[in-house]
Amino acid sequence: MINEEISLALADEIIAYVKTRRDNKEEEFLKAKSKKNKQGVVTNGAIIERMLVVIKKISQEKDAIKDIEKSKKSKEQPSLEFQQNKYKSLIALVDDDVVDQQLLDLKKEYQEFVITNSNEHEAVAWLNRWTSKASDISFATHVGKLTHSSSKSSSILDTSTEQDDRYLTTNRLANLEVDTASSNAASLPIADILKLTVNGVSVLDCLKMGHHSLFKKITDDAAVVDEWCNRLKQSYDSTQKQSYFLSKQTYFPTHDRRYHLLMPLTSSSLVHALHLEHKKYWDDEEQKMARSQRSNKKYSATVTWTYPNKSYLHVTGSNHSNASSLNGKRGGRIPLLPAMPPQWKSRISSYANKTSIFDKTLAFELKEEINDLRNYLLLIKNKSLSISEPKRNATVMNKLQAISSQLFNYVETINANESDAGWTINSKLPQEQQLVFEPRRDDEAAKTLKTNKSWQTTLSKSYGRWLNQQLSQKAKLKPTAIHAALWADCFLLELREMVATQEVKL
């Protein structure tokens, strides 16, 4: 519903937008670096930079000049106000009785710019000039220039409602964002005006519904308002569509030696939805933590997703808005996902019918951590050092903890893959191994086993012997029964902590 309040607010938004452009131009005129044309004449203002050169020649306030030159804008201060204060501070360093022609010329140049800039950015004058450029604008879901940056083919706004479950189309997007394409990048400011929105109602919506009252808040001249609206309608009311020789056209044969001319267009709206989803993925704190756990080979309850073999297409060089406004927002990057066939995923092993957790599958899961411990023990052995030295002993303990931690993560993964709680009761695993999978079991067999806690010691000894076997597989290392006892003792401490944690969660 477009009411008087929304119309007034939209008019205020238009005026504020124009004023912001005015202020930005004045700020740039003051702070820009000087550039000269072939005749050696400065063409872009650079008032403060040029004034510093003049003031340094005619003023004795050297310290004050340095302070002004090095001054920094505070976070709260508007950028234009900071540059204006800088200009005024430099002028104040020159006594009134000092006459310098260069300084007078700079002051005059700036004053003339402010008057001209203000006149050009008076709302009526600005709209008179810029509404005529609306014919360069088109609101689209599929942008011609994303196929080729020099293409002049028409962009298309997909308003279809038909859907096919086999295809991902723009009308499938929950939050469809319409792009703004332009045949001339200099015309994009008028597109910004059309997209200004208050309470979900845009200037473009008002035009489409024939509500022109918002422009009457800017001028009382009805003829001028009608002229603005007729011009702005060209941004969405054009029925002329054209191809271009740079479009990637495809001739698709049909019956009777006829053909369809297909012109593939990139869906900027679909590309942008993918871009935002990917950005959300990288910015989400929960996903960051889950990815960290995954890289460290640790368990995480949060499901992560990846985009393997992804590539990027960069559009329109440095001026990304030249193709479209959304293309500018994503930095000219179009993500390309690989068209690969589905990959078979290996199913996580079930231990319901296995006789021991200490098998080849576990050895493979812990391969990296076991290799790390083996290499360190070989290094100590080759250098004829003792493992009992405090620092070396601490290092060995850390590597043992890494192995047991990964083992418990693997156990948690197995549990998550089993459909029913209490699955270990009917399994072929030894009872002590059943409890490492489900330490919270409260059936009679489990209660009996938990009474004296001997199951933890039994399991730890089995672990110690199994780890010895893994460490000695390459024949370069021959750990003894003493080592197996050490591995068992270390594992027992980790096991008790894990079981206690699980019981607290109960």
Q: What is the pTM of this model?
A: 0.56
pLDDT on residue 419: 67
SS3 for 202-238 is EHHHHHHCCCCHHHHCCCCCHHHHHHHHHHHHHHCCC
Which pLDDT belongs to residue 17?
Answer: 94
DSSP string, 174-198: TT---EEEESSGGGHHHHHHHH-EE
pLDDT per residue of the chain (506 residues) written in tens, 0 to 9: 677 888 899 999 999 999 999 999 999 999 888 777 777 666 667 888 888 888 888 888 888 888 888 899 888 899 999 999 999 998 888 877 777 888 888 889 899 999 999 999 999 999 999 998 888 888 888 888 888 877 878 888 888 888 888 888 898 888 888 888 777 777 878 888 988 889 888 888 888 888 888 898 899 999 999 999 998 888 876 667 778 888 888 888 888 889 888 888 889 999 999 888 888 877 888 888 888 888 887 888 888 877 778 888 888 766 777 778 888 888 888 888 888 777 666 667 778 788 888 988 888 888 899 988 888 888 888 888 888 888 988 998 999 999 998 998 888 888 877 767 778 888 888 888 888 888 877 788 878 887 777 888 888 999 999 998 888 876 678 888 898 899 999 988 888 888 887 766 55
pLDDT digits (tens, 9 = 90+) for 343-386: 666 667 778 788 888 988 888 888 899 988 888 888 888 888 88
Q: Where in the chain are the domains?
A: 19-121, 134-345, 360-505
For residue 235, how many other CB atoms are within 10 A of its CB?
24
Q: How far apart are the first and last CA of the chain?
A: 55
pLDDT tens track for 43-85: 667 888 888 888 888 888 888 888 888 899 888 899 999 999 9
Please state the separation of Cα 353 from the chain's center in Å. 45
Residues 406/366, Cβ–Cβ less than 8 Å: yes
